[in-house]
Amino acid sequence: MAGKPLKIGVLISGRGSNLQAIIDGITRGEVAAEITVVISNEPGAYGLKRAETNGIPAVVVNHRQYPTRQEFETKLIEILKEKDVAFVVLAGFMRVLTSHFLKAFPQRVVNIHPALLPSFPGVGVQEKAVEYGVRFSGCTVHFVNEGVDAGPIIAQAVVPVFPTDTGEILADRILAMEHQIFPRVINWIAEGRVRVEGRRVIVEGAETDENRAWIEPAI
Ligand code: GAR
């Protein structure tokens, strides 16, 4: 791994399994990043324990204690800057960030979303995908802009949706893919291979295979 690791701050709200996947990727030497801080807006988030177990500074910034979004975000920015964070990773962070925050980290915030955007933005989307009857869903890693789940897409992974699925079953299938693609994308960013051209994101040296296609139900 050449050069200095990219200093990232990871924002969470809960379980933190994506955080764990990133930590594991770093530990295995597959992700050229260093997590200098984990921040949760939820005091009881299990991800805070994961951070502590791995010797990563973990901080709670409870949004309920701030009268406005801007004040909440100002506190986040203050901590991230103090920890020398160059890139912000939203890993199950369930608060919408405004331009106030994004201006502090321009083109330097990524999020993972458990659906194939632009389908199913928002929350509860695995269940919505099952109810809608789509044959495929998946996850999306994207840059964060001022819209909700609307920024330029870096990578997506696709999974099938079966008639017998519940939202929970599908969520687990998608989560397994989240754990695969999120650390990889962060490594691409750390290696300086990702650039944005308008809405499109170019990943330098990414492998492609034009023969890949899926049909569901299978034929
Ligand atoms: C993940 O499925 C992530 O995609 C989703 O929350 C879950 C967090 O799990 N994020 C969103 O819905 C963002 N709007 P984790 O805490 O175990 O990583």
CATH of the domain at 22: 3.40.50.170
Q: Is residue 54 part of a domain?
A: yes
Could you tell me the pLDDT band of residue 3, with boundaries at 50, 70 and 90? confident
Could you tell me the pLDDT band of residue 219, with boundaries at 50, 70 and 90? confident
Q: Is residue 12 part of a domain?
A: yes
Q: Is residue 129 part of a domain?
A: yes
**Within 13 A of 8's CA, how many CA atoms are on the CB side?**
28
pLDDT value, residue 2: 63
Considering only CA atoms, which residue is closest to atom 17 of ligand 1? 17
pLDDT tens for each residue of 121-152: 999 999 999 999 999 999 999 999 999 999 99
CB 136 within 8 A of CB 214: yes
Q: Is residue 122 part of a domain?
A: yes
Token digits of residue 3? 């050069």
Cα–Cα dist 183/34, whole Å: 12
pLDDT value, residue 168: 98
1, pLDDT greater than 60: no
Q: Is residue 191 part of a domain?
A: yes
- Domain residues for the domain of 74 are 6-195
Q: For ligand 1, what atom is nearest to the CA of residue 114?
A: 4
Q: Is residue 205 part of a domain?
A: no
Residue carrying the six token digits 């993972």: 112
Cα–Cα dist 59/118, whole Å: 32
pTM for the complete prediction? 0.97
114 in contact with ligand 1, CB cutoff 6 A: yes
If one counts the domains in the chain, the total is: 1
